Amino acid sequence: MTGLKISELIENNEDWIKEKLKTDKNYFTKLSKGQNPRYLMISCSDSRVPLNSMLKAEPGEIFIHRNIANQINMTDINFLSVLEYSIEHLFIKHIIVVGHYSCGGIAAAVDGVDQGLVENWITPVNDIYNKHNEELSKIKDTQKRMDRLSEINVLEQAKNLIKIPIYQRALKRKKYPMLHAWIFDIYTGKIIQQDLCFNEFIQNGLLPEDYVSYFEDNLL
């Protein structure tokens, strides 16, 4: 792909404004009045994962937090602030952790390449790799092994989120932001939903017994 010049970015913005106003002359007036997103998405920072455009979502429909390899870290104040604000002030209905194939952060965690702060940030991914080494070592193709690790990582991050006190407080108040784990298949453009096995968390007391039935009744 050819990189856009700064001047082209500005021109594209002008074109975008014209397109929006052609459809609705009050578009930006309405947009300025506030946001009411239904979804919080926690995604990788990778520039090839265009959340709004790949889902055909308009501004104001998705609240987004991004970091390398879509990590959910109990000590990340930035993420915790986003999570708290989205649950307690925006009243979002769904939280979606979005990983993707061909993730550089995932590969770097396994390769152990010296990448400064990035290497420190993705250390938990290396721990996940070691935890699931028996399964992953059977996958001989390196890229397929890393893509499988991306799937496992997105599930592990979603599980981390369930344990965070902010999320647990919401559950106790009978506010159930429904949790999802997705993989963006960068080779085809498709979203692949991952199975979170909620019953395991219900049995361990981390989710209420009616979580799954609530999920089924309130999927929209």
11 or 206, greater pLDDT: 11
pLDDT of 122 reads 87
Give the model confidence (pLDDT) of 3-40 as tens digits: 889 999 999 999 999 999 999 999 999 999 999 999 99
pLDDT at residue 214 is higher than 90: no
Give the model confidence (pLDDT) of 134-186 as tens digits: 999 999 999 999 999 999 999 999 999 999 999 999 999 988 899 999 999 99
Nearest Cα to 142, choosing from 116, 171, 106, 114? Answer: 106
pLDDT of 112 reads 67
Give the model confidence (pLDDT) of 76-112 as tens digits: 999 999 999 999 999 999 999 999 999 999 998 887 6
Which residues are known to be catalytic? 44, 46, 48, 100, 103
CATH class of the region 37-217? alpha beta
Tokens of 62: 């998705």
pLDDT of 6 reads 94
Work out the average pLDDT over 48-55.
96
Nearest Cα to 136, choosing from 114, 110, 160? Answer: 110
Contact 56, 50 (CB under 8 A): no
Q: Is 66 helix (H, G, I), strand (E, B) or coil?
A: strand
CB atoms within 10 A of CB 71: 21
- Integer Cα distance of 86 and 53 in angstroms: 21
Q: Where do the structural domains in the chain lie, given as residue ranges? A: 7-34, 37-217
pLDDT at residue 115 is higher than 90: no
pLDDT of 113 reads 62
Reported pTM: 0.93
